[in-house]
Amino acid sequence: MPTDRRELFEDWAADYDAFVAETARQDGFPFAGYDDVIRRICTEVGERGRVLDLGTGTGVVARPLIDGGSSVVGVDLSAAMLDEARRRIPEAQLIEANLLKPWPTSLDGPFDAVVSAYVFHEFTLEDKIALLRNAMRRLAPDGRVVIGDVAFDTSADLEQTRDTWRDAWDDTEHYWAADEACDAIRAEGWNVTWIRCSMCAGVFVVGGAE
């Protein structure tokens, strides 16, 4: 995420999980379907050994992956978020880094899967693709990238939700429109599957060319 967002997440770390849970319970934007997204990410990863978690936050995705037998390397911009993660996932290797800058060598891989939950909406589509390039280069053969996030089937759906949830919408964030995102991903030569989980969220599964 951009460096100027660091302070936001430093301040939010202690209350982040409670806020997300409450918003998800109310089926409100932007966390409607949150639990389904987390479960779907873990299902798509399956029994893959070494997993890189981009924007690991408080370790919400990493915890069930570790419980399922994966080893996890988590990276996040926020030291406060990583402090929360250390309490939840002491088994994980946790690294503080800005994903938009050169990645540290500890993230070189190979990884059987790269995952991310509710992070990529911090980035423009151009930066999303650049991050995917970095992730794809670190995959083991037959690995996959699995991203859950605030996302919509089409640009029209995105605009309609913006109008409906104007008070909760954050114009500084870059929510996915799956139609244009999948076109951009396929233009890189990768396969992508889009799985809708709620009115404002879903999962992208990205793999190598057939």
Q: What integer pLDDT is reported at residue 1 of this predicted model? A: 41
Alpha carbon distance 197, 203 (integer Å): 7
Mean pLDDT of all residues belonging to the chain: 91
In this structure, what token pair is assigned to residue 194?
Answer: 């889009």
What global pTM score does this model have? 0.92
What are the residue boundaries of the structural domains of the chain, listed by start?
3-207
Q: What integer pLDDT is reported at residue 12 of this predicted model? A: 57
Give every CB contact of residue 107 below 8 A, 6+ residues apart in sequence: 52, 73, 75, 95, 97, 138
Q: Are 45 and 65 in contact (CB under 8 A)?
A: yes
Query: 174 pLDDT band (50/70/90 cuts)?
Result: very high
Q: What is the dotted CATH code of the domain comprising 3-207?
A: 3.40.50.150
Give every CB contact of residue 44 below 8 A, 6+ residues apart in sequence: 144, 146, 195, 203, 205
**CA angle centred on 124, ends 29 and 157, rounded to 5°:** 40
Q: What is the pLDDT of residues 132-170, one digit of tens each?
A: 999 999 999 999 999 999 999 999 999 999 999 999 899
Count CB-CB contacts under 10 A for residue 100. Answer: 16
